[in-house]
Each structure stands twice: as C-alpha cells, then as structure tokens.
C-alpha cells in the first residue's frame, strides 16, 4: 500500500468513526504496524492535514521559499519559488480540488457557486487566496494563494545604497509616494519596507482590500475590507474605509493598492492636508501610473474635468517609484520619478 492509499484509508476510518486528531496515531499504527515511528509520524501529519488543514497542499506552507501556490483545476499543482514557476510534485483530482475549496471558503463564511463564481479572502496565516469556479472557470475550480511571509525584505533588498538613501530621505521628509509596477513585481513588499522607515511617533492608518502589510511601528491602525455575506449584504469596500480612516487622525495614510474609484477619495485626501501618504498601483512606468490614477478617478463618477484631475494628481503626488523584476527574479527599483506636472515626471539619478 502506498503512502497516498494509506493516508486516504486512515482518513476514511477517522471520518467514519467520528474521531478526532488525537485518534490519528492509533489508527495509523493499527493499519500499518510495520512502519517506523518516523514513517508513522509522516503519515499522521498528512492525515491531519487532510482532516483539518488544506490536505495535500498543507506541507507547501512549511516551505519558506514558496511565494505562490497555483491550482488550475484537476491536475498538477504549481508553485513559485524565487520568481520561478515550477510543478510542486502534487496532482489533484476533481474531488480533491473541490474539497480543498470547501476547506478554504467555509472558515471565511463564503461560498463559490454559479451566482458567485469567485471569492477573494485571507487564510488564517494571512495568505491571500483567490478562487474562481464554474461556469467562469472552464476547467476549474482555480485556486491561487499568495503566501504571507514574516520575512519582510528591507529597503536594501530593492536597490543600491543610493536608492535606499533616496527612498529613506523621501519617507523622512513626508513625501507622498506611489509605488508602481506589474503583478508580482514587489509593490507591496517595497511599500512595506518604505513604511517601516516612518518615524515611530507617527500614527499610521492602513487600508487594504486583503491585509498584507506588516509594519514594525508602535502606532498602527489596520483596516481591511469585508465582502458581502451569503445574502449579498454587509459589504465594506475600500472607499468606505478611506473615508473612515480620514476621521481617525492619521499622520500617514497608507492605501495598499489603488485599483478603483477610491482613487478619487485618496486624491481628495492628499489635497486637503493628509500629505505623506503611500500607495501602490499597477502600471508599467511612472507616467503610466499617473495616467492610470487619472482614469480611476474619472471612474468614480465625478464630474471633475479630466484636465483638473490631472492637475490635482500632480499636486497631490510627489514621487512615483517604479519597481520591476530586473532579471525575471530580483525585484528592484528601476526608477524614482518626481512629479513635476500633469503626467510629467523627472527621474532621479539612481545609478546603474
């Protein structure tokens, strides 16, 4: 009998008998008495993961090098390590994927069905999870987990001493900074590293769709969005939280990512005395970042003319920092650009 068969057999006995985690060792020993103690412990951990954890992918959370876990429906599981996507050596059938989805969504009070075919949430360890089910996911369900890690890189991980000194000085003097970059470029990690350089006396309020920031500061207030419940009510979105945060007397407001009409509220806040804020946006260059923010402000349904929006963004934002994977793996600051006018920037010399 293979380990996989043994794990499935013991798990089935455990469920049928209505047992708990304390019964696993006894069942493993009874089913496979010739295994060594080390082998029994290994099988026991797999049964426990299947019974109370995330089953066959549970052990991936013990690997500090895994930054992303990707399940594209039945078949192989993929992981990202150091910027490289590779097979995890795990194959799941449809029943295993659907069971995994149930174990993820049940604790967060969500469900995936034809009326709500996708879910965003956060696991107990802080990892972000996205699930897309049928009919949207043709071969799904698809599960993508972005790992939360306590190993937060410092500023020195993103560039030369010149880059580090420039960014530290901008944070210290209270510049309003937007971090721009593509998916997986390190925007949130860089934002976290810069925010960690804020003066300890600052009262910092963070607003995130799914909490990822982990600031080593003594006075931090964290706000996180809430999706609607199963009845479709109770949603708290980013715009709600930005408005709430402004009433909480922040010295610095940090918005994890701007990707919707909350751009209008952020622009208003930055232009009405709440300087020194930070945020991130998906864009390929500093100029593209300003243009994207202008588009997002317009999407808020405001009647403010586009030329006025561009002027107000230029007045609100001091610097756009562009981060990218320089060699497909390393996440580095590739541009620090001062905003000098509507959709106009002047790059700082950061060396090669």
CATH number, position 63: 3.30.450.370
Q: What pLDDT score does 39 carry? A: 85
What pLDDT, in 10s, does the model give residues 201-225?
A: 999 999 998 888 888 899 999 999 8
CA dist 29 and 10 (Å) reads 10
Residue 226 lies inside a defined structural domain of this protein = yes
181 and 328 part of one domain: yes
What pLDDT, in 10s, does the model give residues 125-146?
A: 888 899 999 899 999 899 999 8
Residue 352 lies inside a defined structural domain of this protein = no
Residues 6+ apart with CB under 8 A from 276: 174, 175, 176, 251, 252
41 and 78 part of one domain: no
pTM of the complete model: 0.75
Residue 296 lies inside a defined structural domain of this protein = yes
CA dist 288 and 42 (Å) reads 51
Q: Give the CATH number, domain containing residue 331.
A: 3.40.50.300
64 and 191 part of one domain: no
Q: What pLDDT score does 23 carry? A: 82
Instruction: Flag residues of the chain having pLDDT under 50.
Output: none
CB burial of 183-215 (b: ≥16 within 10 Å; e: otherwise) equals eebbbbbbbbbbbbbbeeebebbbbbbbbbbbb
4 and 136 part of one domain: no
User: Does residue 11 have a cis peptide bond before it, meaning omega lies within 30 degrees of 0?
Assistant: no
Q: What pLDDT score does 31 carry? A: 83
Scanning 107-261, the segments in alpha helix (DSSP H) are 161-172, 187-195, 238-246
The pair of structure tokens assigned to 323 is 């981060």
Place of tokens 């009510």: 233
The pair of structure tokens assigned to 121 is 């949430």
Q: What pLDDT score does 150 carry? A: 56
102 and 242 part of one domain: no
- Domain edge (last residue) among 92, 127, 148: 148
108 and 189 part of one domain: no
Indicate left, alpha or beta for 15 from its phi (over 0: left) and psi (-120 to 50: alpha): alpha
- Domain edge (last residue) among 126, 148, 170: 148
Q: Which DSSP helix (H) or strand (E) runs through 75? A: strand 75-81
133 and 204 part of one domain: no
Nearest to 50 by CA among 112, 82, 89, 5: 5
Q: What pLDDT score does 321 carry? A: 97
Domain extent for 10: 1-52
Q: What pLDDT score does 143 carry? A: 96
The pair of structure tokens assigned to 281 is 């946006």
The total number of structural domains that make up the chain: 3
Q: What percent of the chain has pLDDT over 90?
A: 52
290 and 218 part of one domain: yes
170 and 127 part of one domain: no
66-72 and 142-146 as β-strands: parallel, antiparallel, unpaired? antiparallel
Bridge partners for 103 per DSSP: none
The pair of structure tokens assigned to 99 is 């069971």
Residue 217 lies inside a defined structural domain of this protein = yes
CA dist 275 and 271 (Å) reads 8
Q: Per-residue DSSP letters for 276-305?
A: S-EEEEE-SSHHHHHHHHHHHHHTTT----
101 and 161 part of one domain: no
CB atoms within 10 A of CB 220: 18
User: Coil, helix or strand for 246?
Assistant: helix
125 and 244 part of one domain: no
Q: What pLDDT score does 83 carry? A: 80
Residue 128 lies inside a defined structural domain of this protein = yes
86 and 177 part of one domain: no
């Amino acid at each position: 009998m293979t380990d996989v068969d043994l794990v499935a057999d013991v798990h089935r006995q455990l469920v049928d008998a209505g047992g708990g985690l304390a019964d696993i060792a006894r069942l493993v020993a009874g089913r496979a008495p010739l295994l060594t103690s080390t082998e029994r412990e290994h099988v026991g951990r797999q049964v426990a993961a299947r019974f109370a954890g995330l089953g066959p992918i549970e052990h991936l959370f013990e690997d500090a090098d895994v930054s992303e876990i990707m399940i594209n429906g039945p078949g192989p599981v993929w992981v990202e390590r150091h910027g490289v996507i590779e097979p995890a050596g795990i194959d799941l059938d449809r029943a295993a994927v659907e069971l995994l989805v149930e174990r993820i969504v049940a604790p967060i009070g969500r469900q995936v069905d034809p009326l709500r075919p996708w879910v965003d949430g956060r696991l107990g360890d802080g990892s972000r999870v996205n699930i897309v089910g049928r009919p949207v996911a043709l071969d799904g369900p698809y599960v993508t987990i972005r790992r939360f890690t306590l190993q937060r890189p410092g500023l020195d991980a993103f560039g030369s001493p010149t880059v580090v000194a420039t960014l530290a000085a901008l944070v210290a003097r209270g510049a309003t900074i937007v971090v721009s970059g593509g998916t997986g470029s390190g925007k949130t990690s860089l934002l976290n590293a810069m925010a960690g350089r804020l003066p300890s006396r600052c009262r910092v309020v963070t607003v995130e769709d799914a909490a990822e920031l982990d600031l080593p500061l003594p006075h931090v207030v964290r706000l996180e969005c809430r999706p609607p419940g199963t009845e479709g009510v109770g949603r708290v979105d980013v715009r709600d939280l930005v408005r709430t945060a402004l009433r909480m007397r922040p010295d610095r407001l940090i918005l994890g990512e701007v990707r919707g009409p909350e751009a209008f509220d952020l622009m208003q806040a930055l232009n009405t005395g709440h300087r020194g804020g930070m945020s991130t946006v998906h864009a390929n260059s500093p100029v593209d970042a300003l243009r994207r923010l202008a588009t997002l402000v317009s999407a808020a349904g405001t009647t403010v003319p586009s030329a006025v929006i561009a002027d107000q963004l230029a007045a609100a934002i001091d610097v756009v920092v562009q981060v990218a994977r320089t060699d497909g793996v390393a996440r580095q600051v590739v541009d620090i650009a001062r905003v000098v006018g509507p959709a106009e920037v002047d790059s700082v010399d950061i060396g090669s």
